[in-house]
Amino acid sequence: MSHEVLRATLAALDRGEGCALVTVLEVEGSSPASPGQKMLVHADGRCEGTVGGGAVERQAAEQARAALAAGRSTICRFDLDPDSEHGIGSLCGGQAVMSAEVFPASLHFVLFGAGHVSEAFARVAAQLGWAYTVVDARRELLTRERFPAATALVEADPAIFAARDEIASFTHLVIFTHDHVLDRAILSALLERELPGYVGMIGSARKWSETRRSLEAEGVARARLDAVRCPVGLPIGSRTPAEIAVAIAAEIIKERRTS
Domain ranges in the chain with CATH number 3.40.50.720:
108-258
Is the distance from CB of 57 to CB of 131 less than 8 angstroms?
no
pLDDT, one tens digit per residue, over 162-207 is 998 778 778 899 999 988 899 999 999 998 877 767 899 998 899 9
Residue 14 pLDDT greater than 60, yes or no: yes
Bigger pLDDT: 92 vs 6: 6
State pTM to two decimals: 0.69
Worst-scoring range by mean pLDDT, 40-49, 51-60, 63-72? 51-60
**Quick one: pLDDT at residue 31?**
64
Question: For a pLDDT cut of 90, what percent of the chain falls above it?
Answer: 57
pLDDT tens figures, 204-236: 899 999 999 999 998 888 888 998 999 999 999
Q: Which residues, 6+ apart, have CB-to-CB distance to 164 below 8 Å?
A: none
30 pLDDT tier (thresholds 50, 70, 90) = low
- Give the model's confidence band at 107: pLDDT under 50 very low, under 70 low, under 90 confident, else very high: confident
Tens digit of each residue's pLDDT (9 = 90 or more) over 147-164: 999 999 999 999 999 998
Residue (of 122, 139, 125, 117) closest to 203 by Cα position: 117
What percentage of residues in the chain have a pLDDT greater than 70? 92
CATH level 3 topology of 108-258: Rossmann fold (3.40.50)
Q: Are 78 and 8 in contact (CB under 8 A)?
A: no
